[in-house]
Amino acid sequence: MGFLGIQGGGGGGFWLPRAASTGAAPVDALFYFILAISVVFFALIVGLMIFFVVRYRRRAGQGPQPSPAHNTPLEITWSVIPLAIVIGIFAWGFKVFMDLATPPANAYEVQVTAQKWSWLYTYPNGHVDDVLHVPGDRPVKLVMTSEDVIHSYFVPAFRVKRDVVPGRYSTLWFEALEPGEYQVYCTEYCGTGHSDMLSKVVVHPPGGFEKWLEDASNLLNTLPPAEAGERLYRSRGCIQCHSMDGAAAIGPTFRGLVGSQRVMRSGTRLVADENYIRESILEPQAQIVAGFEPVMPTYKGRLKDEEITALIAFMKSLAGEKGEEQ
């Protein structure tokens, strides 16, 4: 089967990436079965085609030979055999799909919120993070919804994908086979940052997840404010639109922001002090800096006061050279 690019084990092959969940193996088996069927039929048709073209190519002084214009038994055969095969593929595909449709009752549940252009994971204790950390020794169920447009949650290594739709919840589950980091993509087109709407699943070895969750939930108390702010900057999606290095992206950079003069769309000028930053986080549409679009979602109810304070401390730590703002 080498020519089909099939590789056993979890290493990943020519066709499919590493298979890292309990649900991946049955999907892969079906994939390779269809691949084998396809190769056989393709070889048959193209082989015959090439054979006929060569064998019956036009030659001087030789016309077509008499042959029937139809043959009922032959035509029935080549209709019924493919029909039986595709019904088999259908049944197999449906069975695997249904086996993977229902999450086990003991699944660990994480809430997922999609927004342009980041994934936020909310753990049962209220902690929010931008990387999905999960225990490696039990199934995980994601309950997902979107704040704005439709997104889609895709983990290739787990062979799972589900649309994330505003106004409703969709679910997805998996059970990882071994600890490690796995890539997450958004696969429903959602605008400018669609291809950067990436995330990771970190599968912890037994016991590791609980320890991580405890540390992560406590960062405001254990870290200096600016450092905690930087964690929040990365984990709450700010980083998707606001750079640290002075380059304007979808939103203004955070470098040198605090204390700088800002020119608004309306033409007014104001100083970006703490209250302005706070307002911009909670009421993003209230003041839009000239040159940017009003696309930021509100963080009202999603960031606590001390978190905003930590973020402002982080921004202050990014103070740029005097005069380079604007």
For position 305 contacting another protein by CB under 8 A, the verdict is: yes
The minimum distance between CB 319 and another protein, in angstroms, equals: 25
Provide the 3-class DSSP secondary structure of residue 48. helix
- 20, 27, 132, 277: which one contacts another protein (CB under 8 A)? 27
Beta carbon nearer to another protein, 214 or 279? 279
Q: How many angstroms separate the CA atoms of 192 and 185, rounded?
A: 15
Our CB check for another protein shows the closer of 312 and 318 to be 312
Element (H, E) at 87: helix 72-99
CB-count exposure of residue 75 (10 Å: 0-12, 13-18, 19+): exposed
Residue 130 CB, shortest distance to another protein, in Å, is 12
Q: Of residues 113-142, which lie at the interface with another protein (CB under 8 A)?
A: 113, 120, 122, 126, 128
Enumerate residues 239-298 that contact another protein by CB under 8 A: 282, 293
Q: Does 190 bind another protein (CB under 8 A)?
A: yes
Q: Which of 2, 9, 11, 53 binds another protein (CB under 8 A)?
A: 53
Question: C-beta of 146: minimal distance to another protein in Å?
Answer: 7
Cα–Cα distance list, 185 to 135, 163, 168, 304 (Å): 20, 12, 20, 28
Binding of residue 6 to another protein (CB under 8 A): no
Q: How many Å apart are CA 25 and CA 19, to the nearest integer?
A: 7
Query: Count residues contacting another protein (CB under 8 A)?
Result: 104
Question: Do the beta carbons of residue 123 and residue 202 sit within 8 Å?
Answer: no
> What are the angstrom distances between the C-alpha of 201 and each of 137, 241, 270?
14, 22, 42
Contact by Cβ (8 Å): 21, 139:
no
Query: Restricting to residues 60-89, which ones interact with another protein according to CB under 8 A?
Result: 62-67, 69-71, 74-75, 78-79, 82-83, 86-87, 89
Site for another protein in 197-236 (CB under 8 A): none
Q: How far is the CB of 78 from another protein (least distance, A)?
A: 5
**CB of residue 1 vs another protein: minimum separation in angstroms?**
16
Which of 1, 8, 36, 56 forms a contact with another protein (CB under 8 A)? Answer: 56
Whose CA is closest to 198, among 144, 150, 240?
240
Of the residues 8, 166, 206, 207, which one makes contact with another protein according to CB under 8 A: 166
| φ, ψ (nearest 5 deg) of residue 238 | -60, -40
Q: Which of 97, 93, 101, 116 is nearest to 171 (CA)?
A: 101
CA 314/CA 61 separation, integer angstroms: 87
Q: Which of 169, 109, 111, 129 is nearest to 145 (CA)?
A: 169
Which residue's CB is nearer to another protein, number 82 or number 205? 82
Nearer to another protein, 148 or 227 (CB): 148
